[in-house]
Structure 1
Amino acid sequence: MNSASGSVRPAQADFCAPQSIADQQGKVVTAWKTAPGDALITHPISGLSVRQSFAPHWSGKVVRLRLSNRYSSVPVTFSNIHLAREATPGGADMVPGTSCNLTFNGLPSVTLQAGETAQSDWVSYPVEAFERLGVSFYAPGPTPQLTRHLNANEVLYISLPGDYSASADGAMYQPAPQGYTANFLVIEALEVLASPSVSTVVAVGDSITDGSDSTTAFLSGRGSPLVATDQRYPNHLQRRFNRAGLPFSVANAGIGGNELLRDGWLPQFGKALLTRFDADVLATAGASHVLVMIGTNDFGNPKTGQAPTSEQLVEGYKQLIARAQRAGLKTIVGTIPPAEGTVTELVPVLHGTAAARLARDQTNAWIRSQTLSDGVVDFAACLEDPLRPGYLAPQFNSGDNLHPNPAGYAAMAECVNLNLFKN
């Protein structure tokens, strides 16, 4: 059974020792994941160290880290890639004595060619669900482009010049400048060797899956955006699986601004889900289920041409369901949450228009009635204000009328019928 625990320093004699899994009984599953979006706007890190953190969703004793250069047009080199336990959520300090220097083909550095993804060597390193980890690395040379995930809802730390990747003390690190703070750079997944009964549920979609505003009520003027609290709906769904003793690790493949049919309105919003589905869902280690919720940006993002119709979006959903089922994955489809009154001061988005609402309602009616998928989650009904149809319920509203707050994300997870995963 998988459960959260406090900080536990590894004490095994083989801690950080290379491991071969060829002759071990087990299954590779994804304990943590993010979906790369682009490589256009990243902080220069040449001659600096980078530190970033996350909470794995599944426990294991043998792990490996996946790095991505998917969207860069040039090679990048990193050295001294360290995995350690985070001392304080969202902070730069690591727990002393927990650092492990990962290797790639036996070497302490790795060069990723343009478009390449690489996995570290398997290593003995016990991790626990929701016991947060830090990944630190040094970039010895030029890094003009870095593949990133925008809006990680985590603090990205950049060091003063030099290699501080092995340092538990975070004094030489500072939060990246505003505009770069929320990115995941280069890291894509942590994979663990688990029991053969365990598998991965890939939650895929847009910013509501990604967890925008899950760390703060910033748009309402409350709280700080620089607090890592792991309150995304996939985090809450993982907690439900853990409490129920169900053998599933939830991998988050959401990208803010993402659309089903078209590439993102801005490059950092990622390729269309139809385009990235193979890499971000089907190729996820241990995947057995995909929980997809997408479409609000297809109708609501600014368009250079006409927005798609609900019929066109439904055809896209049908393609995803068929592709997932051909790959042996069960597919669960979520309805699109309400978005009336979406804040538009910064960008003239269309989420709250009458046309967008009509298309969203038509799509949701199809989702609720269709029998192609293996299940449905009615996120819209769970989040909607019963007194104001089309709007988020006030207790679930982050303040922009589009993204849920942490309570809303918890409600989304509670809306998922766990029986969908028991067959």
Structure 2
Amino acid sequence: MPVLFPLLLATAAPAQSCPWQATWGASQMVPGTDNALPSGTLADATLRQVMRTSAGGDAVRVRLSNAFGRQPLRIAAASVGQAAPGGMLTARPRTLTFAGRPDVVIPPGADWWSDPVAFRVASFDDLAVSLYLPGDPDTQTSHPGARATSYVAKGAHVGDATLPAAQTNTHWFFVSGLEVRRCGAPPGIVALGDSITDGYGVKPDTNRRWTDTLARRLGGRVAVVNQGIGGNRVLLDGTGPNALARFERDVLSQPGIGAVIVLEGINDIGVLQRDRPASAAEQAALVERITGAYAQMIARAHARGLKVYGGTIMPFMANSYYHPDAGSEGMRAAVNAWIRTPGHFDGVIDFDRAMRDPDRPAYLAPAYDSGDGLHPSSAGYDAMARAVPLTLFKRPRP
């Protein structure tokens, strides 16, 4: 028999001047068939998902997403609580409400915040968000690269300590953000990127992405929100919407953010020459379009008062999927030269310099290479986090 905790009615956090800040996020997309749950799995089912905060606060709200749904999405009940290994809850969860109601219907293409819940959480807490779905959604708005274990059990169990006969997966669905109320908090950081930011190769439930390690280096004082999508490109849709198309939702709409780290472009370069050599004119045009998109991001972020830091594109000459050549390396060098040019980004995080082999600068250093010539090893992700100058995020003294 599952252990039951009585549900606590969510109490709205008292109105104060303290602002809301994103503490965790996940970029949304339509999962491919290899990452989607089988049809019918979510009908009359409780979905429990675990997310780790990067900064704490005295109240929480959850951002639910039907961004890619074609029909309204009904969540019949929801809760948030402290998570333990195995999808268990360490204490009774707080009921989530929506304009005071226990359920919500989210329009197609929309996100929906829950009501605030008075719930003190610390930096690096694991929170479990449980959703009860009465019907099977028409489309699964999702973040496939969760690198975290999620649980699905038939029936309504958002208040249960454990989920009976739960199936597991390593994806997130319908939850795009966690936000906390923080008084006197420094501005947070959004990391916009591809699989290298998403943490390709990181083992589930270990929280070893470079952004996780950066948050730990910052001591839990500065929120770090990961908005990476594996396979993502700056210019064209592929695995998920292109970076420029998702910039508003994934970056600019995040509350309490003061800085953006942009590390994208390696997939644009790789795809151009994956199937055939590109001409010099095509290569030059791609560089111009990538850097033009960077300039758009910078302008949009500056209009919101945000700083934008450019991450240089790391070497990938040994990658067998893209089989890059001298032309690919030339495009990478040209894009990196633009990133490093003063007056473009507000600052540069030189991941290329930190990660490359000193003797073969077109290749990752062997200790930092996961084995595919493109994605970092665990040591590589740690090195990336160390390459970020923490002085970029220190607030000037008044």
User: Does residue 108 of structure 1 match 2:102?
Assistant: yes
Give the 3 Å change call, closer, same or farther, for CA 100–385 of structure 1 in structure 2.
Answer: same
RMSD over aligned CA atoms reads: 2.0
Deviations 1:130-153 (A, max 9, x none): 121111111111312121112111
TM-score, L = length of structure 2:
0.89
In the alignment, the residues of structure 2 paired with residue 16 and residue 256 of structure 1 have an alpha-carbon distance, to the nearest angstrom, of 38
Offset at 1:121?
0.6
Offset at 1:202?
0.8
TM-score, L = length of structure 1:
0.84
Offset at 1:370?
3.1
Match of 2:393 in 1: 421
Give the 3 Å change call, closer, same or farther, for CA 151–365 of structure 1 in structure 2.
Answer: same
User: Does residue 384 of structure 1 match 2:361?
Assistant: no
Return 5+ residue gaps in structure 1 as ranges.
Answer: 1-14, 176-180, 216-226
Q: Pick from 345, 358, 378 the counterpart of residue 330 of structure 2.
A: 358
Match of 1:290 in 2: 260
Determine if contact 2:10/2:97 at 8 Å carries over to the other structure: no
Question: Which stretches of structure 1, 4 residues or longer, exceed 6 Å deviation after superposition?
Answer: none
In the alignment, the residues of structure 1 paired with residue 161 and residue 110 of structure 2 have an alpha-carbon distance, to the nearest angstrom, of 30
1:23-422 equivalence runs, <5 A: 24-38=16-30, 41=33, 42-43=36-37, 44=39, 45-88=42-85, 91-95=86-90, 97-159=91-153, 161-175=154-168, 181-215=169-203, 227-242=204-219, 247-264=221-238, 269-301=239-271, 309-344=286-321, 349-350=322-323, 352-422=324-394
Offset at 1:165?
2.4
Determine if contact 2:68/2:109 at 8 Å carries over to the other structure: yes
Offset at 1:333?
0.6
Determine if contact 1:27/1:198 at 8 Å carries over to the other structure: no
In the alignment, the residues of structure 2 paired with residue 198 and residue 368 of structure 1 have an alpha-carbon distance, to the nearest angstrom, of 26
In the alignment, the residues of structure 2 paired with residue 195 and residue 397 of structure 1 have an alpha-carbon distance, to the nearest angstrom, of 41
Deviations 1:343-385 (A, max 9, x none): 43xxxx35x3332222111111221223222110000111112
Offset at 1:38?
2.3
Deviations 1:163-216 (A, max 9, x none): 2222212442121xxxxx33210001111110134322111111111111122x
Return 5+ residue gaps in structure 2 as ranges.
Answer: 1-7
SS of 2:87 mapped into structure 1: coil
In the alignment, the residues of structure 1 paired with residue 367 and residue 92 of structure 2 have an alpha-carbon distance, to the nearest angstrom, of 40
Q: Structure 1 vs Structure 2: percent identity of aligned residues?
A: 35
Offset at 1:40?
6.1
SS of 1:83 mapped into structure 2: strand
Which amino acid is 1:371 matched to? G
Determine if contact 2:80/2:94 at 8 Å carries over to the other structure: yes
